[in-house]
Chain A
Amino acid sequence: MLTTVLAIVGALGVIIGIAMSWNGGHFGTRFMTNALTNSFFFFSIGLGALFFLTLQYATETGWYATVKRVIEAMMGFLPVGIVMMLVVLLTLTFTHGMHGHIYPWMDPAYFADEAGHHYDAIIAGKRPYLNEIFFWIRTIAYLATYYLFYRGFKMRSEQEDKIGGTDIHFTNYKKGALFLVFFSVFSSTSSWDWIMSIDVHWFSTLFGWYVFAGMWCTTMTVLVMLVLYLKKLGYLPKVNDSHIHDIGKWTFATSFLWSYLFFSQFMLIWYANIPEETTYYITRIEEYQLIYFGMFFINFAFPMLLLMSRDAKRHAGILTFVGLIIVAGHWMDVFIMISGGSMGANAHIGVLEIGMAVLFLGIFIRVVLTNLTKAPLTPVNHPFLDESIHHEI
């Protein structure tokens, strides 16, 4: 019901937004910027859930067993997210990166003709890495790897419910470690390819970790809110305060990880003060000052001040309040990352932006809640289930 309302409101917002900005110039760029922002944001929640699950497998963690199905339901958004990413990236490829506004390196005007008016030596120099064919080889490799691992973990999790024993557990342990090896490389390179290449002249070696930390933080925040919601409805009787406290700690810790990486990237570029590096921040500070630093402030200060104490991390109201705010904050982060490069000074948050985010949110919640109905909410034969039920900190 809620998701239908969200989807309808979102779709209406998108239609009104399109009608309003159809003749406003930059329509195509604006539309695709939003499509990329939302596809990536919600795709990354699914990916973050897959990463978090494999992390639990690889470290043979016990406490999470009672919330495992919630993580898996979020992970189940991955196929939808992959399709969304594919549609957006294909559209961008066929429109030459929206005529060079989103992926300038896809637009032949910048590199094909050395005598041309728009010829850009830097983009031409980056062609061996940033070209459509290699880009698609990499994109397919990332998405296929994520999908195959997702399918394997989902299948084994369902098998475990029927068979039991420890064989599946040890397979998961090995595959989980293997996935982390792939993910550690792919999470960095995919964010270079999909996001950093929008600001094609600019580069930062920290960027991949920054995107990854934001993804992880969003995932943990969504997870804690989803667990609280399901627990309130009485679906997770085995989840106690200690589990909530633990996921709350993850929210707190990953917020700090994200803030730390934000600051590290910002401080080093500020300190070195090299023109080719500072361009990224100059655009964002000049055109997005309020929401850029506002986003940093709420993503850092809210979890720090409100989730510091032990009691707050066990309090459903505080967790949900902080959670809703920092999920919005991290959406804003992804939005500024992408539109700062593609729209620059022309970006603003209007009906189209909000409408599309609400539409994607509706689809996301619908898919996740539907996934929750597919398997028992408490795993039946997880080897650490007993430990998790008696989890107490």
Chain B
Amino acid sequence: MADKVIYAMYDDDDVLKDGAKKLVSKGVKVAEVFSPFPIHGIDPIIGVKNTRLGIMAFLYGLTGLTLATIGMRYFMIVDWPMNIGGKPNFSYMENILSFIPITFEFTVLCAAHGMAVTYLLVNKTLPGMPAQNPDPRTTDDKFVMEFRMSENSSFSENELEEMLKETGMIEMDQKEVH
């Protein structure tokens, strides 16, 4: 489906945020914002859904916890009971204190790596993937708002352009996408 995308560039994140607020209040739908750093408070304005990364972190952590427990029980109790410092070597529960640090570490390890990989995958930013941002300057000191004409069918292109100019943007670009 052919669609037209409009990019508006700003050189200040506060200007962009105020602009986004005004545009959204007029009924314009902002598709995406590209920024070199997280802009606090932009999510609710442009209607980004709450991230589910936290839920995934919990699941990865739970995986780590389970794996660590199963692993250590097998290595240290079942397969080859280890006698360390005279502690009972046939029971996991009675030795649970000495397994807690490793359980904790492995939980954190799995949660952190799982989150990092998930984040990169979802954003399509794994090493070597083609860049998504419309302009390399958004990785330096510029901010870009993206609009899709298909989502803003109640406005003509000129109307949108006029409104964008009022918000203090510094540059505009457009592109046909398929």
Contact = CB atoms under 8 A, between A and B. Distances in A.
Contacts of A309: 54
B27 interface: no
Contacts of B127: none
B100 A267 contact: yes
Given A273-B85, A273-B86, A267 B98 contact: yes
A271 B87 CA distance: 8
19 contacts: A263-B100, A266-B97, A267-B97, A267-B98, A267-B100, A267-B101, A270-B97, A271-B85, A271-B87, A271-B97, A271-B98, A272-B85, A273-B85, A273-B86, A309-B54, A310-B54, A392-B40, A392-B41, A393-B40
B49 to A, nearest CB: 14
In the complex, the 4 A-B pairs of residues with the closest C-beta atoms, listed nearest first: A392-B41, A267-B97, A392-B40, A270-B97
Nearest to A263: B100
Interface of B: 40-41, 54, 85-87, 97-98, 100-101
A262 to B, nearest CB: 12
Contacts, number: 19
Interface string A262-304: 0100110011110000000000000000000000000000000
Contacts of A310: 54
A128 B86 CA distance: 37
A244 B147 CA distance: 35
Interface in A40-59: none
Contacts of A393: 40
Interface string A243-267: 0000000000000000000010011
A266 B97 CA distance: 9
A392 B87 CA distance: 51
- Output the residue of B87, B97, B98 with the most chain A CB within 10 A: B97
A267 B97 CA distance: 6
A272 B86 CA distance: 10
Contacts of A263: 100
Interface in A189-217: none
Nearest to B14: A390
A310 B54 CA distance: 10
Interface string A8-22: 000000000000000
Contacts of B40: 392-393
A22 to B, nearest CB: 43
Contacts of B41: 392
Nearest to B50: A310
Contacts of B54: 309-310
B111 to A, nearest CB: 13
A270 to B, nearest CB: 6
Nearest to A264: B101
B44 to A, nearest CB: 10
Contacts of B97: 266-267, 270-271
Interface in A318-346: none
Contacts of B100: 263, 267
Nearest to B101: A267
Contacts of B101: 267
Contacts of A272: 85
A267 B102 CA distance: 13
B108 to A, nearest CB: 12
Interface string A208-246: 000000000000000000000000000000000000000
Given A271-B85, A392-B40, A393-B40, 16 more contacts: A263-B100, A266-B97, A267-B97, A267-B98, A267-B100, A267-B101, A270-B97, A271-B87, A271-B97, A271-B98, A272-B85, A273-B85, A273-B86, A309-B54, A310-B54, A392-B41
Contacts of A392: 40-41
Nearest to B41: A392
Nearest to A266: B97
Contacts of B87: 271
A270 B85 CA distance: 11
Nearest to A392: B41
A393 B38 CA distance: 11
A312 to B, nearest CB: 12
Interface string A351-393: 0000000000000000000000000000000000000000011
A30 to B, nearest CB: 33
A310 B97 CA distance: 30
A269 to B, nearest CB: 10
A145 B140 CA distance: 48
A271 B86 CA distance: 10
A136 B30 CA distance: 67
B74 to A, nearest CB: 22
A273 B85 CA distance: 9
Nearest to B40: A392
Contacts of A273: 85-86
Nearest to A391: B40
B20 to A, nearest CB: 14
B129 to A, nearest CB: 30
